[in-house]
């Protein structure tokens, strides 16, 4: 991952990076998709827990559309979705049509740093694994606050800078990779880093109150479609370790449920 992007930039440069990445994502292995699906399941449970009275909802940075598709199935929801990648938008439209047997017309190719919506347009926002990829992340926070109605809810997640459990589990595999001189494919895109305390402070400064916060997921360092036992063991480790008070803030992903003041 490269973090040497200029902050004074043409956002279309960033868009081009994610257009290329979108094509690569569509070729991801089944094992990676399995790990991602576990992440999506957790976020969807949080969405269903809190978005009981939200009708106008924005999926801000929809990716391949797991949350957009889920929300579109719910009655009385009007769901809008944005992503910086036009290719991703195309993939998500196909997913919505296949899963929901309906066309999804409320999808916009846009940048989270400058959303094409009026003030206080939405009662609920999902912004999952997006903010860390913005070059101007504070602009992203400002836009999320701007388009959310007063007392509206946001389900927000990003990667955890302090994902110590996964780092420790990965040590033997990383040593082995160095020995055999393994070179995996590198994603060349900006990736910011946050810990749970920093994010809590940022969200409060931007006009949100925190209703719930937690971390989850432990990465499987040897994930493979041919090593199913590794996935099972990792899931057991995750369920046990992540609940221990001393390490509960050190999962891979940080989740916040916020209310706009």
Dihedral in degrees, nearest 10, Cα atoms 12, 3, 164, 45: -10
Q: In angstroms, what CA-CA distances link 138 with 105, 112, 199?
A: 29, 11, 11
Instruction: Please check whether residue 3 lies inside any domain of the structure.
Output: no
Q: Which residues pair with 209 in a beta bridge?
A: 259
Residue 213: what pLDDT? 92
Q: Give the pLDDT band of residue 241 (cuts 50, 70, 90).
A: low
Tokens 């007392």 sit on residue: 151
Instruction: Please check whether residue 98 lies inside any domain of the structure.
Output: yes
Instruction: Please check whether residue 194 lies inside any domain of the structure.
Output: yes
More confident residue, 8 or 74: 74
Residue 31: what pLDDT? 39
Q: Give the pairing type, strands 253-260 and 148-159.
A: antiparallel
pLDDT at 8 over 50: no
Residue 6: what pLDDT? 42
Q: Which two tokens stand for residue 84?
A: 């910086």
Distance CA 17, CA 190 (A): 9
- 81, 87 contact by CB (below 8 A): no
Kindly report the CA angle at 258 between 257 and 259, in degrees rounded to 5?
A: 135
More confident residue, 23 or 193: 193
Instruction: Please check whether residue 134 lies inside any domain of the structure.
Output: yes
Across 19-33, 38-52, 118-132, 243-257, least confident range: 19-33
How much is the CA Rg of the chain, to the nearest whole Å? 18
| Average model confidence (pLDDT) across the chain | 80
Q: What are phi and psi of 127, to 5 degrees?
A: -135, 95
Residue 4: what pLDDT? 41
Residue 260 CB-density burial (10 A; 0-12 exposed, 13-18 middle, 19+ buried): buried
If DSSP codes are grouped into helix, strand and coil, which group holds residue 126?
strand
More confident residue, 204 or 4: 204
pLDDT at 154 over 90: yes
Residue 17: what pLDDT? 72
- 237, 218 contact by CB (below 8 A): yes
Q: How many domains does the chain have?
A: 1
* Domain span at 136: 11-260
Distance CA 159, CA 252 (A): 6
If DSSP codes are grouped into helix, strand and coil, which group holds residue 57?
strand
Tokens 């810990």 sit on residue: 195
Distance between first and last Cα of the chain = 35
Residue 60 CB-density burial (10 A; 0-12 exposed, 13-18 middle, 19+ buried): buried
* Of the ranges 70-79, 81-90, 159-168, the best mean pLDDT one: 81-90
pLDDT at 82 over 80: yes
Residue 186: what pLDDT? 58
Q: Which two tokens stand for residue 172?
A: 């033997």
Average pLDDT over residues 188-210: 88
3-state percent helix, strand, coil for the chain, nearest multiple of 5: 45, 20, 35
Residue 10: what pLDDT? 59
Q: Encode pLDDT of 28-81 as tens digits.
A: 533 344 444 678 989 999 999 999 988 899 999 998 889 998 898 887 788 999
In the chain, which residue ranges form alpha helices assigned H by DSSP? 11-25, 30-50, 66-73, 86-100, 137-147, 164-180, 196-205, 228-241
Across 109-118, 144-153, 178-187, least confident range: 178-187
Instruction: Please check whether residue 25 lies inside any domain of the structure.
Output: yes
Q: Give the pairing type, strands 78-83 and 56-60.
A: parallel
If DSSP codes are grouped into helix, strand and coil, which group holds residue 156?
strand
Instruction: Please check whether residue 6 lies inside any domain of the structure.
Output: no
pLDDT at 2 over 50: no
Residue 139: what pLDDT? 94
Residue 25: what pLDDT? 63
Residue 36: what pLDDT? 46
Question: Is the whole model's pTM more than 0.95, yes or no?
Answer: no
- Give the domain CATH number at 100: 3.40.50.150
């Amino acid at each position: 991952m490269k973090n040497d992007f200029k902050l004074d930039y043409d956002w279309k440069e960033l868009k081009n990076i994610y257009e290329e990445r979108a094509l690569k994502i569509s070729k991801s292995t089944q094992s990676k998709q399995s790990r991602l699906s576990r992440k999506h399941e957790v976020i969807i449970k949080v969405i269903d827990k809190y978005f009981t009275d939200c009708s106008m909802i924005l999926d801000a940075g929809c990716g391949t559309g797991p949350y957009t598709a889920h929300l579109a199935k719910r009655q009385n929801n009007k769901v809008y979705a944005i992503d910086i990648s036009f290719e991703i938008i195309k993939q998500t439209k196909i997913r919505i049509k296949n899963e929901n047997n309906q066309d999804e017309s409320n999808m916009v190719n846009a940048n989270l740093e400058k959303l094409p919506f009026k003030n206080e347009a939405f009662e609920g926002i999902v912004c999952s694994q997006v903010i860390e990829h913005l070059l101007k992340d504070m602009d992203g926070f400002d836009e999320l606050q701007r388009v959310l109605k007063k007392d509206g809810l946001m389900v927000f997640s990003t990667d955890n800078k302090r994902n110590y459990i996964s780092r420790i589990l990965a040590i033997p595999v990383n040593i082995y990779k160095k020995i055999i001189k393994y070179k995996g494919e590198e994603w060349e895109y900006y990736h910011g880093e946050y810990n749970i305390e920093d994010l809590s402070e940022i969200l409060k400064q931007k006009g949100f109150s925190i209703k719930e916060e937690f971390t989850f997921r432990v990465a499987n360092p040897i994930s493979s479609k041919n090593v199913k036992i590794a996935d099972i063991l990792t899931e057991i480790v995750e369920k046990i370790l992540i609940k221990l008070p001393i390490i509960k803030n050190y999962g891979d992903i940080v989740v916040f449920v916020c209310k706009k003041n």
